[in-house]
Chains A and B, each alone.
Chain A
Amino acid sequence: MPYDCIVCVKQVPDTANVTASAMNEDGTVNRAALPAIFNPEDLHALEAALEVRDRYGGTVTAISMGPPKAAEVLRDCLYRGADRVILLTDRRAAASDTLATSYILSQAIRTLGRYDLVFCGRQAIDGDTAQVGPQCAEKLGIPQITYMEQMGELREGIVRVRRNIGHGWEVVECPLPVLITVIPAANQPRPPAAKRVMRYKRARAAAELAAQVKAEMPEAPEDLIAAEVQRRVEALRAEGLLIEQWDLDRIGADLSRCGMAGSPTKVFRIQSIVLKREGHVQVPPTEDGIRQLVRELVVDRILG
């Protein structure tokens, strides 16, 4: 029996080497200042969906919410095997917290209609909140299974999953549809397939084409730009290389639940981590130095 899977993927700044200079005054992140990557755990979510399709048939649709540049991770999804990708982009969605984000994603999933499984990475490395998956499931009114570490059988509309619970694991069964968040132990993401890279490397979303055209003809009048964008959109569509792009109207979103307005949490203050500069006692690496240190620790009752 075939299953239709949806995967939520996010493009994230590579947080491994961030400095405070990558932050805007208002505490939001200046993503442009950092290299953008495919959120690592979302690759595992994609792989989980692809494995379901390989085994049982069906479809894999990847959705990403973000600026036009987020289409990069959607191309990566196409390279790795996704059947359909959708870029969810809208300025009015900017500054959404996890609650607003999950609302928007759930509206997009509803717009897609039929589905059996939704996969998300457990968390994104820019926020590490792990909230969007569960919140999205709640908004869809479907069960959630978090921290999947092994996918089990799918049988007669019931999925079996082994989930990590920190100090062990449990195996649960749940009727479909269900939302599952995935941890890296679950699988080994497949690399992009060379053939698919050749086929999809020119795939673009309309917003990307618009940015391209503007960059190429900065002096041109608006209507000329619009016409050129339209021409390129149609050309790509004819080749089957146009990445679907949705905005908040397309998914029937209530604007009061999106963006800043729909976000109950507000960033009040951001501090970059500063090293304390208190001096420390230099202990020479000699028998005498160390003996002295041990004595001091005993006197201070730190060593008993």
Chain B
Amino acid sequence: MEPNREGEVWVLAEQEDGSLHDVALELCGKARQLADQLNVKVGAVLAGHRVRHLVDRLIAHGADRVYLVDDERLAHYQTGSYARVMCTLVEQHRPQIVMYGATPLGRDLAPRVASYLRAGMTADCTDLQISDVTEARTGKVHKNLLLQIRPAFGGNIIATIVNYDQWPQMATVREGVMPMLPADHSRKGTVVEAQVALTAADMPLRLMERHLEPRKVNLKGARVIVAGGGGIGSKENFRLLYELAGAIGGAVGASRAAVDSGYIGKEYQIGQTGTTVRPALYIAVGISGAVQHRAGMEESAKIIAINTDPQAPIFSIAHYGIVGDYKKVIPMMLRALKERK
């Protein structure tokens, strides 16, 4: 499609069984910021069955218009039907930007939609900005493009991607990287009831069985995280980290080396291929600080690194560095915390 500079900034309001995914609200906040810069409105596409009650939350978090597609055939996600909804609405309303959470659902849906629209698509962005861009090849200046910023190449580089002339500009955005704005219940918005014609061809999949595990680990919400790495050495030794986390009301996380060594479950992994966190305090214990790990935690407000190796790269992003064996340091911390009480 041709660029539509009056187009809205859109967010897919991902929901499951009638409850919104956090990333949908995070994206509403980001969309708000981008739309204010562009002087356009924020639209949220809410598809599902019996999901009308979610409209208010989307508006409170930044949406101006909620495109509601309520249909019992949309009760369970499948690529075909949701892609039909997105493609139809995008063609009708021609937004200039469409954002999806980089969740399993978002990463399944967004490329299918992009392919149909023949639009550009950038996966797993960690930041989005609006900026004028001069095209190197032609010297042409493109006003107010969406800069789609993401780690690439195993996290070793940060690439900024743009789409000059095949819009909408679409991106999936990592969970947890955009701060969720506080809800403002005085905000006003409108609901646009959208009708989308679904056919049997849009729903080739039959859902036979579904098994959801409760989201046990809430790393994203934790104020303090005590994360252990390969240096912890065993599953048993992780107990010390749980003790420390318990003493300061924090959650336990891990590097990939700790996960791969079987010290702790995969759902605790922090970093490029794990969760992105930004707690008030991050204590990195026995973690070297590889770029892939840092990608998921360097936005933490305060970082304490405990490592026997004074050269470990983690120290270069730490606010407090303790060179020493965690088996000695953590008990000292536990004692110091106890003394305080």
* Chain A proximity of B27: nearest CB distance (Å): 17
Residues of B141-182 at the interface with A, using a CB-CB cut-off of 8 Å, are: 147-148, 151-166
Interface-located stretch among A71-79, A95-103, A186-194, A234-242: A95-103
Residues of B75-126 at the interface with A, using a CB-CB cut-off of 8 Å, are: 78-80, 83, 103-105, 107-108, 110-112, 114-116, 118-124
Contacts A273-B291, A281-B319 hold; do A166 and B79 have CB atoms under 8 A apart? no
* Chain B proximity of A94: nearest CB distance (Å): 15
Question: At the interface, yes or no: A108 with Cβ under 8 Å from chain B?
Answer: no
Question: At the interface, yes or no: B198 with Cβ under 8 Å from chain A?
Answer: no
Contacts A125-B154, A168-B212, A271-B157 hold; do A283 and B321 have CB atoms under 8 A apart? yes
Partner of B116, one of A26, A138, A284: A138
Question: At the interface, yes or no: B72 with Cβ under 8 Å from chain A?
Answer: no
**What is the CA–CA distance of A167 and B19 in the complex, to the nearest angstrom?**
14
Say yes or no: A131 contacts B153, CB within 8 Å.
Answer: no
**What is the CA–CA distance of A175 and B301 in the complex, to the nearest angstrom?**
50
**What is the CA–CA distance of A297 and B316 in the complex, to the nearest angstrom?**
20
Say yes or no: A270 contacts B161, CB within 8 Å.
Answer: no
Residues of A249-304 at the interface with B, using a CB-CB cut-off of 8 Å, are: 263-273, 275-277, 280-287, 289-291, 293-295, 297-298, 300, 302-304
Say yes or no: B118 contacts A99, CB within 8 Å.
Answer: yes
Contacts A172-B207, A273-B291, A290-B336 hold; do A131 and B111 have CB atoms under 8 A apart? yes
**What is the CA–CA distance of A16 and B273 in the complex, to the nearest angstrom?**
13
| Chief secondary structure at chain B's binding surface | mixed
**What is the CA–CA distance of A19 and B281 in the complex, to the nearest angstrom?**
30
Question: At the interface, yes or no: B53 with Cβ under 8 Å from chain A?
Answer: no
Say yes or no: A27 contacts B159, CB within 8 Å.
Answer: yes
Say yes or no: A130 contacts B123, CB within 8 Å.
Answer: yes
Say yes or no: A280 contacts B319, CB within 8 Å.
Answer: yes
Contact partners of A165 in chain B: CB under 8 A:
104-105, 212
Question: At the interface, yes or no: B339 with Cβ under 8 Å from chain A?
Answer: yes
**What is the CA–CA distance of A130 and B100 in the complex, to the nearest angstrom?**
14
Say yes or no: A99 contacts B120, CB within 8 Å.
Answer: yes
Partner of A135, one of B115, B157, B321: B115
Question: At the interface, yes or no: B140 with Cβ under 8 Å from chain A?
Answer: no
Say yes or no: A264 contacts B166, CB within 8 Å.
Answer: yes
Partner of A287, one of B123, B154, B166, B335: B335
Partner of A266, one of B164, B215, B340: B164
Contact partners of A295 in chain B: CB under 8 A:
340
Residues of B296-341 at the interface with A, using a CB-CB cut-off of 8 Å, are: 301-302, 304-305, 313, 315-325, 328-329, 332-333, 335-337, 339-340
Contact partners of A129 in chain B: CB under 8 A:
111, 122-124
Contact partners of B79 in chain A: CB under 8 A:
134, 143-144, 146
Partner of A270, one of B119, B159, B211: B159
Say yes or no: B208 contacts A267, CB within 8 Å.
Answer: no
Q: Which of B249, B301, B337 has the most CB of A within 10 A?
A: B337
Say yes or no: A170 contacts B210, CB within 8 Å.
Answer: yes
**What is the CA–CA distance of A146 and B103 in the complex, to the nearest angstrom?**
12
Closest partner residue, chain A, to B104 (CB atom): A166
Partner of B154, one of A15, A171, A172: A15
Contacts A99-B120, A290-B333 hold; do A135 and B114 have CB atoms under 8 A apart? yes
Q: Which of B147, B249, B304 has the most CB of A within 10 A?
A: B304
Question: At the interface, yes or no: B236 with Cβ under 8 Å from chain A?
Answer: no
Question: At the interface, yes or no: A84 with Cβ under 8 Å from chain B?
Answer: no
Contact partners of A99 in chain B: CB under 8 A:
114-115, 118-121
Q: Which of A169, A293, A302 has the most CB of B within 10 A?
A: A302
Say yes or no: A290 contacts B281, CB within 8 Å.
Answer: no
Contact partners of A82 in chain B: CB under 8 A:
none
Question: At the interface, yes or no: A224 with Cβ under 8 Å from chain B?
Answer: no
Partner of B317, one of A125, A136, A174, A275: A275
* Chain A proximity of B2: nearest CB distance (Å): 12
Closest partner residue, chain B, to A276 (CB atom): B317
**What is the CA–CA distance of A168 and B164 in the complex, to the nearest angstrom?**
38
Contact partners of B152 in chain A: CB under 8 A:
126-128
Closest partner residue, chain A, to B202 (CB atom): A143
**What is the CA–CA distance of A214 and B208 in the complex, to the nearest angstrom?**
57
Closest partner residue, chain B, to A106 (CB atom): B115
Partner of A272, one of B110, B124, B157: B157
Question: At the interface, yes or no: B191 with Cβ under 8 Å from chain A?
Answer: no
**What is the CA–CA distance of A272 and B153 in the complex, to the nearest angstrom?**
10
Say yes or no: A20 contacts B156, CB within 8 Å.
Answer: yes
Say yes or no: A160 contacts B208, CB within 8 Å.
Answer: yes
Say yes or no: A264 contacts B120, CB within 8 Å.
Answer: yes
* Chain A proximity of B83: nearest CB distance (Å): 8
* Chain B proximity of A16: nearest CB distance (Å): 6
* Chain B proximity of A298: nearest CB distance (Å): 7
**What is the CA–CA distance of A294 and B154 in the complex, to the nearest angstrom?**
36
Partner of A172, one of B151, B206, B281: B206
Say yes or no: B154 contacts A272, CB within 8 Å.
Answer: no
The 9 A-B pairs with the shortest beta carbon distances in the complex, nearest first, are A285-B324, A15-B154, A264-B120, A264-B166, A135-B115, A138-B115, A131-B111, A168-B212, A265-B120
Given A125-B154, A134-B111, A302-B301, output 16 extra A-B contacts at Cβ < 8 Å: A18-B154, A131-B111, A135-B111, A138-B111, A139-B115, A145-B205, A160-B208, A164-B104, A167-B214, A171-B208, A174-B204, A175-B204, A178-B204, A272-B156, A273-B157, A280-B315
- Could you give 5 example pairs across A and B, Cβ below 8 Å? A98-B121, A130-B107, A167-B213, A283-B322, A285-B328
A-to-B contact residues, CB < 8 Å: 13, 15-16, 18-20, 22-23, 26-27, 29, 97-99, 102, 125-139, 143-147, 160, 164-175, 178, 263-273, 275-277, 280-287, 289-291, 293-295, 297-298, 300, 302-304
